[in-house]
Chain A
């Protein structure tokens, strides 16, 4: 991606490409070279492997969110506790989706309600 010398911020303990950059080329290789040259059964697996490599590149490139402190078991929580936890839990799921499936949360409760109506 970025060529040239960015002396100040470089992590001199490892060489380029970085882990994230390597995962990106692993994904590209799987998608562009391996998938087209593979039998259907293995092709699906190679596609999934490419997706996982992209997922890991995103995970490496993102700063982890602080863990929210949640009540130990929400199944039995009272209304106030559950309502307070809902927003935090939703944010937790969104942070996972940003890594696992970016954009999935653009279809939200309001959008689904509109589909159903």
Chain B
């Protein structure tokens, strides 16, 4: 089903790495909606090593980020000391393997949220350690310069809070039917805005589901498709959403750790912690996802993207409405 074979990949990697490369069998994995990920072993000058090739399908979707931008994010992140997969080769040329791609070193471990939680439950101290490592990794990313962010990434004119509220306003107006719950949430957000802080590079989608966890701790932070310029607590508040806990609701961070673990790591990595900002962005990101779910339902109904998954998303809005109301109740 892929646009390349073990043979064409062997030839490419051989010339790229200047070595004798034999690629073994290809194992496609399902991860990322707009990316094809295929795991493979390659024997390089006689030594077997594990890799992953991430390819952008040629769907012609204009909104899709160029894959070489993702490579730049990954390399910047690695240089900043974050745990990410090491990129060994990349090409934006469709002629090479039938679509832009990059090849990274494979990182072993669990990615499915329930498995991550199970592993943390059966390994004393692992959950706290992983949250600490995510915190430290994010602090390092947030300390990097917006000047190093790929040029195609939008530079918001004002603060991240302004941009967030303007976005919410726009999406609320697009709803097929009003959501009184999300109206109350937006009202709260407008009235409780934190003080503006400078924008910085953010990952945008760090959560249980986009991390690799193994017995040694955090293996890598995956999926840089939505990395952008924003503000630190956008990343941190997203990690605390109830939906990433896989029903293990008593542990705020991904169902495997407490907020204090994340905070300790963030501070150890050089970041400044602020409870009010954390809470504001946690509320905003709940609203954001609620509006996102409503939008998926709308895309199904208007024919933009007809699918039973998108239709079902429309019926999930109530979950996010509930979560958001819980977060603003009595505040």
Q: Is B180 an interface residue (CB 8 A)?
A: yes
Among residues 292 to 331 in chain B, which have CB atoms less than 8 Å away from a CB atom of chain A?
307-309, 311-312, 315-316, 318-319, 321-322, 325-327, 329-330
**Contact in complex: A115, B322 (CB < 8 Å):** no
A41 CA / B308 CA spacing, docked (Å): 12
**Contact in complex: A108, B180 (CB < 8 Å):** no
Q: Which of B183, B312, B326 has a CB less than 8 Å from the CB of A108?
A: B326
Q: Which of A77, A93, A107 has a CB less than 8 Å from the CB of B249?
A: A107
> What's the minimum C-beta distance from B142 to chain A, rounded to whole angstroms?
22
Q: In the complex, which residue of chain A has the Cβ closest to the Cβ of B318?
A: A96
Inter-chain contacts of A82 with B (CB < 8 A): 184, 187
**Contact in complex: B259, A45 (CB < 8 Å):** no
Q: In the complex, which residue of chain A has the Cβ closest to the Cβ of B330?
A: A109
**Contact in complex: A115, B321 (CB < 8 Å):** no
* Residue of B180, B250, B330 with highest tally of chain A CB at under 10 A: B180
Q: A104-B322, A108-B326, A109-B326 are in contact. Are A86 and B308 (CB under 8 A)?
A: no
Q: How many of chain A's residues have a CB under 8 angstroms from any CB in B?
A: 36
Chain B: number of interface residues, binned into ranges? 20 to 34
**Contact in complex: B315, A52 (CB < 8 Å):** yes
- Interface readout for A38-54 with B: 1 if CB under 8 Å, 0 if not? 00110011001101100
Q: Which of B180, B251, B316 has a CB less than 8 Å from the CB of A70?
A: B180
Main secondary structure on B side of the interface with A: helix
Q: A74-B183, A75-B183 are in contact. Are A105 and B322 (CB under 8 A)?
A: yes
**Contact in complex: B184, A89 (CB < 8 Å):** yes
Q: Which of A77, A101, A115 has a CB less than 8 Å from the CB of B187?
A: A77
**Contact in complex: B187, A76 (CB < 8 Å):** yes
**Contact in complex: A85, B249 (CB < 8 Å):** no
A93 CA / B327 CA spacing, docked (Å): 14
Q: Is A100 an interface residue (CB 8 A)?
A: yes
**Contact in complex: A94, B322 (CB < 8 Å):** yes
A85 CA / B329 CA spacing, docked (Å): 12
A109 CA / B286 CA spacing, docked (Å): 14
Q: Which of A55, A89, A94, A97 has a CB less than 8 Å from the CB of B180?
A: A89
**Contact in complex: B180, A101 (CB < 8 Å):** no
Inter-chain contacts of B178 with A (CB < 8 A): 73
Q: Is A92 an interface residue (CB 8 A)?
A: yes
**Contact in complex: B312, A93 (CB < 8 Å):** no
> What's the minimum C-beta distance from A112 to chain B, rounded to whole angstroms?
5
A77 CA / B311 CA spacing, docked (Å): 31
**Contact in complex: A52, B330 (CB < 8 Å):** no
Q: Which of B242, B322, B330 has a CB less than 8 Å from the CB of A97?
A: B322
- Interface readout for B246-271 with A: 1 if CB under 8 Å, 0 if not? 00011110000001000000000000
Q: Which of A73, A108, A115 has a CB less than 8 Å from the CB of B251?
A: A115
> What's the minimum C-beta distance from B239 to chain A, rounded to whole angstroms?
13
**Contact in complex: A112, B181 (CB < 8 Å):** no
**Contact in complex: A104, B184 (CB < 8 Å):** no
A100 CA / B307 CA spacing, docked (Å): 18
Inter-chain contacts of B326 with A (CB < 8 A): 107-109, 112
Q: Is B190 an interface residue (CB 8 A)?
A: yes
Q: Is B122 an interface residue (CB 8 A)?
A: no
> What's the minimum C-beta distance from A96 to chain B, rounded to whole angstroms?
4
13 contacts between A and B (CB under 8 A): A41-B30, A51-B312, A70-B180, A73-B183, A74-B180, A77-B187, A82-B184, A90-B329, A92-B180, A96-B321, A100-B318, A109-B326, A115-B249
Q: Which 10 A-B pairs have the closest CB atoms?
A: A74-B183, A96-B318, A109-B329, A109-B326, A89-B180, A93-B321, A107-B249, A100-B315, A75-B183, A48-B312
Q: Which residues of A contact B (CB under 8 A)?
A: 40-41, 44-45, 48-49, 51-52, 55, 70, 73-77, 82, 85-86, 89-90, 92-94, 96-97, 100-101, 104-105, 107-109, 111-112, 115-116
Q: Which residues of B contact A (CB under 8 A)?
A: 30, 172, 178, 180-181, 183-184, 186-187, 190, 242, 249-252, 259, 307-309, 311-312, 315-316, 318-319, 321-322, 325-327, 329-330
Query: 7 more A-B contacts (CB under 8 A) besides A45-B308, A52-B312, A75-B190?
Result: A52-B308, A74-B187, A85-B180, A97-B319, A107-B242, A109-B325, A109-B330
